[in-house]
Amino acid sequence: MALHLGDIAPNFTVDTTDGEISFHDWKAGKWTVFFSHPADFTPVCTTELGRAAALRPEFEKRNTSLIALSVDSIEDHRAWAPDIGEMSGTALNFPIIADQDKVVSHLYDMIHPGEGDTSTVRSVFIIDEDNKIRLSLTYPKSTGRNFDEILRVLDSLQLTSMHTLATPADWTPGDRVIVPPGMTTDDAKVRFSNVEELKPYLRYADAPDSE
């Protein structure tokens, strides 16, 4: 069954480089970026996991944990970790799931059957504190992910979860936000600062404090 935005992320119990975990218990009370990579000891994946490790403090500021997956073994994950640290300058600092039986990969539809093998594509799921899937992305194996964009969309998701608003194209934290269509301009002026109506359906406002 395909997973959709708003669905509860399926739970699972697996072995990781940090030991056995039950996913929902492991992430309890936190947002999570759960992402798959095709294989260990591969060039694009090495750059991706290194970048994610370097950005871990930024994710932690957002109460967000990181966890990766591939269909390789724990032994391979642990043998590969020093390369990640050497190439990125940051030691691997989050768990990697060993999904050799591909149970989790199929549960989250991470296998691309047209690729000619059974390794995972570059899937990304952002899952909130209530275990709901808030974002899903799938990249081909040849294209590395932009983790700055993953941080940006996480900021948008967390802001819009706290306040009734939307974020425009290319929004980054500190930019003005959009009043949602279901809210009147008068109501928006009560809730937000500096409301500007460009069209009856397009109103900007200053972003509220996210704290």
Active site residues: 45
Cα–Cα dist 61/103, whole Å? 31
Cα–Cα dist 51/79, whole Å? 18
Residue closest to 177 by CA, chosen among 164, 190, 144: 164
Pairing type for strands 122-127 and 19-22 reads: unpaired
Cα–Cα dist 178/197, whole Å? 10
Cα–Cα dist 71/112, whole Å? 13
Q: In this structure, are residues 56 and 29 in contact, taking their beta carbons and an 8 Å threshold?
A: no
* Angle between the N-to-C axes of helices 43-54 and 74-88, in degrees from 0 to 180, rounded to the nearest 10: 70
Cα–Cα dist 94/22, whole Å? 15
